[in-house]
Amino acid sequence: MAKHLISKTSYIKALQCKKAIYLYKFYPKHKDALSSDRLKRFSAGHEIGFIARQLYPGGIDISAQIPASYEEYLKSTQEQIEIGKKVIYEATFKYNEVLVMLDLLIKTDTGWKAIEVKSSIAISETYKQDASLQYYVITGSGLTLEDFSLLYLNKPWNEIEKDEDPKTIFISESQLERCTSDLTKVHTQIEDIRRILAGPAIPSIKKGAQCNTPYPCDFIGFCTRQESEIAEGLFNNL
């Protein structure tokens, strides 16, 4: 099975900066070390994802399959869909060389519903772009979705009590309209990313507002060093 070229993470990075996706793909060793704040956010994100599963109990976790490989995740997802499993966690899909893993895939009486869990109290433009990409991949791979929704917190994570009922923690908002209207745009963006990644060298982009929007880029340290070495005439191509 052919490897995937783009993931959800790399797609969002590419929308932020073309140089970031190139570095992420070909020069990951130049990534900055993760700050403790970001590590805490990742860990909270995981915990919130597990709490959201309690809203749809009894599912199968594709990411817990052994052996752990994307090929196995894809195969296992198809098997679970075919045998009629009603709740699938981390269902994995690939289309047009893009791979996504969805937090919750639910089979209702009328069709399949996709849900992505977010650990913040509002829906950002980036979350909507992420939803549109996932919808593009899942439907492109052959599964019809009757809805795609984002599940987010109704109050900050640090204000949620330990034993709080998961039903009182989340707000759900359908993104179906946005996802369907974004299909062509997502396809064009994927083709753009493909062209960037096929390029012979790191795109020449200077640091700017994009470095911290929507997230602090992983390569700020690298780009800062590179720009100062170029200014001093010391930079050697990688």
For ligand SF4, the binding residues (CB under 6 A) are 16-17, 19-20, 23, 205, 207, 210-211, 217, 219-220, 223
- The minimum distance between CB 191 and ligand SF4, in angstroms, equals 20
- Between 20 and 138, whose beta carbon lies closer to ligand SF4? 20
- The minimum distance between CB 222 and ligand SF4, in angstroms, equals 7
Q: How far is CA 197 from CA 21, 27, 136, in A?
A: 8, 12, 20
- N- to C-terminal Cα separation, the chain: 31
- The minimum distance between CB 16 and ligand SF4, in angstroms, equals 6
- Between 20 and 55, whose beta carbon lies closer to ligand SF4? 20
- 167 neighbors 148 (Cβ within 8 angstroms): no
Helix (H), strand (E), coil (C) string for 84-147: CCCEEEEEEEEECCEEEEEEEEEECCCCEEEEEECCCCCCCHHHHHHHHHHHHHHHHCCCCEEE
- The minimum distance between CB 160 and ligand SF4, in angstroms, equals 32
Which residue type is seen at 60?
I
Backbone angles phi, psi at 228, to 5 degrees: -75, -35
- The minimum distance between CB 20 and ligand SF4, in angstroms, equals 4
Residue nearest to ligand SF4 as judged by C-beta position: 217
- Between 85 and 207, whose beta carbon lies closer to ligand SF4? 207
- The minimum distance between CB 230 and ligand SF4, in angstroms, equals 13
* Residues with Cβ within 8 Å of residue 84, at least 6 apart in sequence: 107
Residue with tokens 């590590």: 39
- 85 neighbors 200 (Cβ within 8 angstroms): no
The residues facing 153 across adjacent strands are 170
- Between 13 and 113, whose beta carbon lies closer to ligand SF4? 13
- Between 183 and 205, whose beta carbon lies closer to ligand SF4? 205
- Between 52 and 202, whose beta carbon lies closer to ligand SF4? 202
- 216 neighbors 31 (Cβ within 8 angstroms): no
Q: How far is CA 4 from CA 38, 96, 103, 146, 193, in A?
A: 26, 8, 19, 26, 13
- The minimum distance between CB 21 and ligand SF4, in angstroms, equals 8
- Between 168 and 213, whose beta carbon lies closer to ligand SF4? 213
